[in-house]
Amino acid sequence: MKIAVFSTKTYDQEYFERYKTNTDTEFVYFETALNHHTANLTSGFEGVCVFVNDKVDEDTIQVLAQNGIKLIALRCAGFNNVDIKAAKERQIKVVRVPAYSPEAVAEHAVALILTLNRKTHKAYNRIREGNFSLNRLIGFNLHGKTVGVIGTGKIGATFCNIMKGFGCKVMAYDKYESDELKSSGIEYKALEEVFKEADIISLHCPLTPETKHIINTRSLSLMKDGIMIINTSRGALINTADIIEGLSSRKVGYLGIDVYEQEETIFYKDLSESIIPDDLILRLISFPNVLITSHQAYFTKEAMEQITKTTLTNIEDFKEGKHLKNEIL
């Protein structure tokens, strides 16, 4: 079986080559993303393996089907970038990695909070330039602050428990409440109440039509002045133009994002010698209280190992005609 692996970096190849066991399965690595322009590269393959910024929409799937692709294997949990209905209509199976090291993402969300708050990134640069002053480096104690968590699945629940360890009051909103979290002292509230009461809001729900732009001018207007917003989930949970307005008016005191609404053309690329093709991200970068990372929350050794092993098992299960336990139905 031949699999075209899209959006690969050297580290993806290293992990695939380290953990692959079946020598009958051939992986061909493409650095380019999969989209309707690149879909013709899949001629002669039976499956594709894709990541968060591959655009597997209906146009792409049509070409995949024409080329005889039978399997789309996602190397991630979120599947908002794949038109599942279009794949189903063409009898293409879609599998994913539903769970891998929720600690990786939850801990990165905490890293964003601590960095924005205690400004260690600024202190690092200052001290390298011989500036040992503390002016403007003042932070706040996390202990006693109220943290609002939107989405308490695997990552959100892990994040709740870490923040409890800091001595925060943790409140949450989810369509499905977790009894386990409730019994450990997490308080579920209506979404608007979480927006009103939190000092820090962290997003851990998937991107769906319902959650798209959940952070917008209206929801921002409910929040405390100086709110800290953290997004390690999916970029389009935040309306970028609205958050820029919120930062300009100082409603938003801190913004930490690992994901960005238009990240496909920017993230995972070295654009240091290029003209960055996105004015909104340039505006975001210009704020002193915004911290952006390039969709790296998942990027730990443990998570990479789990993603690779599960993806390889998904592909082997398909090849052997076994039940696909990680199929998106």
Stretch that binds ligand NAD, among 23-31, 202-210, 269-277, 316-324 (CB under 6 A): 202-210
- For ligand NAD, the closer of residues 280 and 328 by Cβ is 328
- For ligand NAD, the closer of residues 174 and 242 by Cβ is 174
Based on the residue annotation, tell me whether 263 is a catalytic residue of this protein.
yes
- For ligand NAD, the closer of residues 211 and 240 by Cβ is 211
DSSP 217-241: HHHHHHSPTTEEEEE-S-GGGB-HH
Residue 307 interacts with ligand NAD (CB under 6 A): yes or no: no
Residue 298 interacts with ligand NAD (CB under 6 A): yes or no: yes
- For ligand NAD, the closer of residues 69 and 160 by Cβ is 160
What tokens appear for 144 in the block?
Answer: 């006693």
- For ligand NAD, the closer of residues 259 and 315 by Cβ is 259
Q: Using CB under 6 A as the criterion, what x/- string covers residues 139-168 for binding ligand NAD?
A: -----------xxxxxxx------------
Report how far apart the first and last C-alpha atoms of the chain are (Å, whole number): 23
Greatest extent of the chain over all pairs of C-alpha atoms, in Å: 64
Catalytic residue among 75, 213, 261, 263: 263
Binds ligand NAD (CB under 6 A): choice among 206, 217, 224, 287: 206
| Least distance to ligand NAD, CB of residue 24, Å | 30
Segment 267-273 long-range contacts (CB within 8 Å, at least 24 positions apart): 267/53, 267/294, 267/295, 268/7, 268/9, 268/53, 268/294, 268/295
What tokens appear for 324 in the block?
Answer: 């696909």
Over 279-326, what HEC string results? HHHHHHHHCCCEEECCCCCCCCHHHHHHHHHHHHHHHHHHHCCCCCCC
Residue 232 interacts with ligand NAD (CB under 6 A): yes or no: yes
- If you ran DSSP here, which 8-state letter would residue 73 be given? E
- For ligand NAD, the closer of residues 6 and 45 by Cβ is 6
Q: Using CB under 6 A as the criterion, what x/- string covers residues 83-112 for binding ligand NAD?
A: -------------------x--x-------
Residue 211 interacts with ligand NAD (CB under 6 A): yes or no: yes
Cα gap 100→63, rounded to integer Å: 30
Return the C-alpha torsion angle 300, 310, 315, 25, nearest 10: 60
Enumerate residues 264-293 that contact ligand NAD by CB under 6 A. Answer: none
Residue 50 interacts with ligand NAD (CB under 6 A): yes or no: no
> How many residues bind to ligand NAD according to rule CB under 6 A?
30
- For ligand NAD, the closer of residues 150 and 220 by Cβ is 150
C-beta atoms surrounding 19 within 10 Å: 15
Residue from 238, 259, 194 nearest 53 by CA: 259
What tokens appear for 201 in the block?
Answer: 């809001």
Catalytic residue among 234, 273, 323, 327: 234
Residue from 181, 229, 220 nearest 201 by CA: 229
What tokens appear for 240 in the block?
Answer: 């970028």
C-beta atoms surrounding 300 within 10 Å: 17
Cα gap 204→233, rounded to integer Å: 5
Residue 304 interacts with ligand NAD (CB under 6 A): yes or no: no
Residue nearest to ligand NAD (CB): 153
C-beta atoms surrounding 322 within 10 Å: 11
Q: Using CB under 6 A as the criterion, what x/- string covers residues 22-41 for binding ligand NAD?
A: --------------------
Show which residues are catalytic: 234, 263, 295
Binding site for ligand NAD (CB under 6 A): 77-78, 102, 105, 150-156, 173-176, 204-208, 210-211, 232-234, 258-259, 295, 297-298
